[in-house]
Amino acid sequence: MIITSRFLARPVRLLSTSAAFVSCIRLANTPHFHVPAGLSQQLQQPLRKMHIQSIPMWVGSSNNYAYLVSDDESKDAVIIDPANPPEVTPVLAEKSKSLNLTAIMNTHHHWDHAGGNTKVLSSLASRSLPVIGGRDCEGVTETPAHNSTFSIGKNIRVTALHTPCHTQDSICWFMEDEATDERVVFTGDTLFIGGCGKFFEGSGAQMNRALNEVLAALPDDTRVYPGHEYTKSNVKFLKKVLPDNRALDELARFADENQQTQGKFTIGQEKAHNAFMRVHTDEMKKVTGQTDPAAVMDKLREMKNAG
């Protein structure tokens, strides 16, 4: 039977009773999948393209980190501060099956960061890779200007941030995953979780600029990957100068429960619990007896050095 209506654009054929019953059976037997709201949102989010593998070195002594950063789409990768070849080259050899190493990068020239460059290069099939870092790094071939950018593969945007103080050739590497907007910064010995490096070649004024102008200007959600695992000792000092800081409680708890803290804290969190990024506050001025931020920085470093 066919019926028409002024509300219908075209005639509609009614099913017979038996046909309607079969149709209902089919609908009832059709599986219905419920996707949880949280999972649905995750499925809609772009997949991360930037991958970071930490390579601990000299664990129990200097507790350094090298970092292998790769673009998941192109498989291009760089190795940052591969200072101890016996601990780095086995990782690179294994990863060479799936990744294309395109450069060595350094945060500064000290031997425990750049001292493995030549040996690492000699272990690779291609020994002509660029070495990107400060002017005094071993075997350096490229020193990008402050705020200059380049890419790793198709999805990782790198910005060079010059932060002279620990050494005059110190460079922090800010990286952004252009697929997800995830942000990280490799800070070498300029910024540690809860601390900063010694002023071997610079002054408090330079470190203040490095931490509180250059790095503090990064988005607060930028995760920090330092050159050493010093968090536990840094917390001990922070408890002396920031006894009433609630943000420090979270850092202390995490450091107590975990051996590694790299990539677990952000620039925003460092601003909250790191005394060296709080030199402008009244509490730090009172602790140090200084008022100028550069002088506060110098005094805090002096106090930290004294233990």
Q: What is the distance between the alpha carbons of residues 53 and 284, in angstroms, rounded to a whole number?
A: 36
32 labelled catalytic? no
> How many beta carbons lie within 10 A of that of residue 290, not counting itself?
18
| Cβ-proximal residues to 64 (8 Å cutoff; 6+ apart), any chain | 56, 57, 58, 81, 83, 84, 112, 113, 227, 228
Query: Per the structure block, which two tokens stand in for 93?
Result: 């050899």
Catalytic entry in 81, 169, 177, 228: 228
162 labelled catalytic? no
Catalytic entry in 76, 108, 169, 298: 108
Buried b (16+ CB within 10 A) or exposed e, 100-128: ebbbbbbbbbbebbbbbbebbbebbeeee
Catalytic entry in 81, 169, 189, 298: 189
Q: Any idea what DSSP says for residue 211? A: I
By DSSP bridging, strand 223-226 and strand 183-188 are parallel
Catalytic entry in 166, 169, 177, 298: 166
Catalytic entry in 72, 81, 113, 298: 113
Catalytic entry in 110, 169, 273, 298: 110
Buried b (16+ CB within 10 A) or exposed e, 51-60: ebeebbbeee
Catalytic entry in 71, 72, 76, 112: 112
Burial classification of residue 86, based on how many CB atoms lie within 10 Å of its CB (0-12 exposed, 13-18 middle, 19 or more buried): exposed
166 labelled catalytic? yes
Query: Per the structure block, which two tokens stand in for 245?
Result: 């800081």
189 labelled catalytic? yes
228 labelled catalytic? yes
Which residues are tagged catalytic?
108, 110, 112-113, 166, 189, 228
